[in-house]
Amino acid sequence: LCGQRGALQNTSIMRVRDTKIFLVSAYHDQREAGQSTRIIGIANRYEPDVLSCHFCCRGHSEILTVTASTYIHSDHFDFPYGTADFLCMEPLDCEPGHVSVQRMRTIPDEEEAEWVFMPVRNRLYMPPIFTQEFSVCISTLFGNYSNVLQFVQAIEMYRILGAGRVTVYNTSCSSELNKVLLYYIKTGLVEVVQWPITDYVQVSKGWHYPEHPGELHYYGQIAALNDCVYRHMYSTRYLVLTDIDEVIIPLKHTNWKDLIQYLNDKYGADIYMFENHVFPYTVSEEFGSKFQAWNAIPGVNIMRHIRREPNQPEVFNPTKMILNPRAVLQTSVHSTLNALGISETVPGDTAIMHHYRSPERPDLPLDSLVVDLTLWRYNATLIRNVNKVLNRVFWNEHFNP
């Protein structure tokens, strides 16, 4: 590594020395500004610093230095910290393998030994070789997340609908949920990125400052989503950005592949947005002994929640997305911020997002809720798959994938 100088990144988040800037990952990106390295991070918007990129070039022992351009994402919801891109033009005749980011200043030579270098990813993935048709990004698990049953049901629905990989950003979860994660990691379906954001900044449990206290929006969700877009840039044809309590369900098709083919034929877009529909936890149906085996599993059984709140046309309704990651430069939670392609909101008679959560309008009478049995089209496969996972994780400790 550059003549044995410095150390390799060994955490998913790290601080730039003497700054209030935190780095997540570095990716080669030639789509907009030529041959450049895009570093995804989190920065204090009120205390900016000029940064420099120090490149280790393959086949060379010297370090080449350039000044970084900083771009704070526009969706920071007024919190002091926001997601940021640090863009560094790659030097001519340099194929960067690693980069270290430092505050711009005169640097004594002996300090180079203390630098931490990040791998520059995505350089070897042109042209794209898709190992997955659909991948899913889940950000973030926090607060000792323990909703085991709903987690397994969501992951199995993603699998049924066509996902081949699910990336989960994990700040904290229960021991039971961790067993589930370890099982899915062994199968190859789930990749877990440890997300210790609470070690660095005071995070908010809400979405807007100052009503929701904290320095950074919702456990650094936007930084995690942007990392996930670049992480899967050249390995998956389509990427689904959603939360673990959400599932995008087609109404005219049975899987995401057929849905996207239909949407591409009709709209030819790169980013499809799906409207949110709340299925409140507070209203559930009884199905006799059908789910008796799940009673001992902590969490919500989404199959018992078949009534959703009617949407209000005059009220903003958030969306989640299925997108072509190669068309995205920056994303927020409900839409992209900077994209090379076009976006389209999908009509509610084609597909919607099921959101299983606490009610948005708890005072609605029962007869005003919409009975929606769409999820039950998948009931046989879903129940079988969930039982298989629970059996191997909790009811049978002998498992070899």
Instruction: Check whether residue 254 and residue 371 sit in a common domain.
Output: yes
One-letter amino acid for residue 105 of the chain? R
pLDDT band at 399 (very low <50, low <70, confident <90, very high): very low
pLDDT score for 366: 96
Give a yes or no: residue 400 inside a domain. no
Give a yes or no: residue 126 inside a domain. no
Q: What is the pLDDT of residues 225-268, one digit of tens each?
A: 999 999 999 999 999 999 999 999 999 999 999 999 999 999 99
Give a yes or no: residue 401 inside a domain. no
pLDDT band at 398 (very low <50, low <70, confident <90, very high): very low
Instruction: Check whether residue 73 and residue 220 sit in a common domain.
Output: no
Instruction: Check whether residue 107 and residue 254 sit in a common domain.
Output: no
- 102, 121, 140 — which closes off a domain? 121
Give a yes or no: residue 127 inside a domain. no
- 121, 143, 171 — which closes off a domain? 121
Instruction: Check whether residue 68 and residue 206 sit in a common domain.
Output: no
Asked if the bond preceding 210 is cis, omega within 30° of 0, the reply is yes
pLDDT score for 401: 41
Instruction: Check whether residue 58 and residue 107 sit in a common domain.
Output: yes
Instruction: Check whether residue 205 and residue 324 sit in a common domain.
Output: yes
Give a yes or no: residue 1 inside a domain. no
pLDDT score for 32: 85
Split into its structural domains, the chain has a count of: 2
Q: What is the bridge-based pairing of β-strands 132-141 and 236-242?
A: parallel
pLDDT band at 78 (very low <50, low <70, confident <90, very high): very high
Instruction: Check whether residue 153 and residue 264 sit in a common domain.
Output: yes
The domain in which residue 262 lies consists of: 132-395
- 121, 150, 183 — which closes off a domain? 121
> What rounded mean pLDDT belongs to the chain?
93
The neighbour count for residue 206, using CB atoms within 10 Å, is 13
- Any idea what DSSP says for residue 159? H
The structure tokens listed for 32 are 């907009």
Give a yes or no: residue 92 inside a domain. yes
CATH no. for residue 266? 3.90.550
CATH no. for residue 97? 2.60.40
Section 190-206 average pLDDT: 96
Q: What is the pLDDT of residues 96-120, one digit of tens each?
A: 999 999 998 765 555 777 899 999 9
Q: What is the pLDDT of residues 156-197, one digit of tens each?
A: 999 999 999 999 999 999 999 999 999 999 999 999 999 999
pLDDT score for 104: 87
CA 248 – CA 275 distance, rounded (Å): 9
Instruction: Check whether residue 113 and residue 160 sit in a common domain.
Output: no
Distances (CA, A) of 250 to 204, 317, 356: 33, 18, 16
Instruction: Check whether residue 361 and residue 214 sit in a common domain.
Output: yes
CA 342 – CA 350 distance, rounded (Å): 19
Give a yes or no: residue 295 inside a domain. yes
pTM, two decimal places: 0.95
Instruction: Check whether residue 149 and residue 262 sit in a common domain.
Output: yes
Instruction: Check whether residue 72 and residue 136 sit in a common domain.
Output: no
Instruction: Check whether residue 150 and residue 81 sit in a common domain.
Output: no
Percent with pLDDT over 70 in the chain:
96
